[in-house]
Every structure is written in C-alpha cells, then in structure tokens.
A = this chain, B = another copy of it.
Amino acid sequence: MPPANTNLKMMIDIDILFAWGGVTKCYQKGEVIFYEEDMPRFYHQILSGQVRMYHINEEGREFSQGTFGIGQSFGEPPIFVGKPYPAMAQAMVDTVTIRLGRETFLKIVEEYPAIKTAFLQLMAERVYHKAVKASSLVNNPPEVRILGFLQQLKHGKPPDGRALVPYTRQEIANATGLRVETVIRTLRKMAEAGQVEIRNRKLYF
C-alpha cells in the first residue's frame, strides 16, 4: 500500500540519476537509512517502498516528521544547508532507493534550472506544510490534532466517500504528539460524532 501522501511525479528523472552515477540500494523493513546527527552524504529517492523520518527524544518518545513514498526524495534540506540530519530515516517496508553523492546531486541541481526550480517549489511546499502542521499540533485538543493529520492525507485525493487510513493508532499518535490510548479514545468519540468511521478496527476518513 502506497503512503497516503505519495506525490506521483518523480523528483528527478531516473535516467538522469543513473547517468550521473546514481546507484540503487535495497533496505529491509525496519532498516535505518541514516541516523540523527549524521552528516548527509547522499541524495535519496525512493524507487519502491516507504520511508519514515522521525525523531526520538530524551524520554524515548517518537515524533514523526513525515512519511515518503514512491518517487519522492527525502532528507534533502540538510544537504542544501550543510547541517547534520535532525531526524532519522527508516524503511517502513522493504524499500529500494536510488542514491547519489551529495556533491553530484548539488551539481545536477545547478546544471538543470528546471530541477532547481522543482526543488525550490518542493522546499516551499514543505515549509508550508510544516507551518500548517505546527499550527494544528500546538495549542490544540486531541480531536483537532487528529483531524489535522487526517486532512493532510487527503491532499489531491478525490473526495469520493471515505478512504481507509493506512496508519496504525500508534503511528497517528507519533505524528500528533499524543499517546495511543488518547488517539483510540478520541477516534471512538469522533466515530460516534460521524467524523470518521471504524469498521472492525479499520479506520476510514
């Protein structure tokens, strides 16, 4: 199952990546692609599978920065700004990526104006989404946070009735800064209110 926020257009054409020396790399489910504090050495783009970026704080609690699907790239901002990764990346399922050295990637960006523009827009979109997400996370009760999370999944999706939400309660909790139990109890209330639907433990929105 592809992640709900999959953006179908490829960030960089695969032929270009291979032409510039990109190589594929396979990761098993659960394998870590890079750790927090690592310096970025590669540009990563997903050929198949799904990747999650998240942060673990001092008390051992996770916070998801986002999930990425086929065609999407991840972990680029630190490449552009020359800082270490602020979060770790992990394959959620068996995943194949194509990767390219940091320097080569930056050369490609300078070489193709259209690609530079695409990344400018991508970064702008990420800023935008993180701003919206922050608003919905901070200062808001559980119901609003969860609604915000669910709505962001709907991007570009046709509003044809309800769709299965491909996330576990735990994943929703990690993305919204709530505890699993709170997510469960809030979702039940929301189901009673008709805002979501729960059919044998599956969540529809």
**Chain A residues near B (Cβ < 8 Å):** 55, 57-59, 61, 63, 65, 76-81, 83, 86-87, 109-110, 113, 116-117, 119-121, 123-128, 130-135, 137-140, 144, 177
In the complex, the answer to whether B87 meets A131 with C-beta atoms within 8 Å is: yes
In the complex, the answer to whether B63 meets A135 with C-beta atoms within 8 Å is: yes
In the complex, the answer to whether A135 meets B76 with C-beta atoms within 8 Å is: no
Extra contacts besides A77-B127, A81-B121, A83-B128 (18): CB < 8 Å: A57-B135, A63-B134, A78-B124, A78-B128, A79-B124, A80-B124, A81-B128, A86-B128, A87-B135, A113-B113, A120-B123, A123-B124, A126-B127, A130-B131, A130-B134, A133-B134, A134-B134, A138-B138
Q: Can you show 22 pairs from A to B with CB atoms below 8 A apart?
A: A63-B134, A63-B135, A77-B125, A77-B127, A77-B128, A77-B131, A78-B124, A78-B128, A80-B120, A81-B125, A109-B120, A110-B117, A113-B113, A113-B116, A116-B120, A123-B123, A123-B126, A123-B127, A127-B127, A134-B137, A138-B138, A138-B177
Of A117, A132, A134, A138, most buried by chain B (CB within 10 Å of CB) is A138
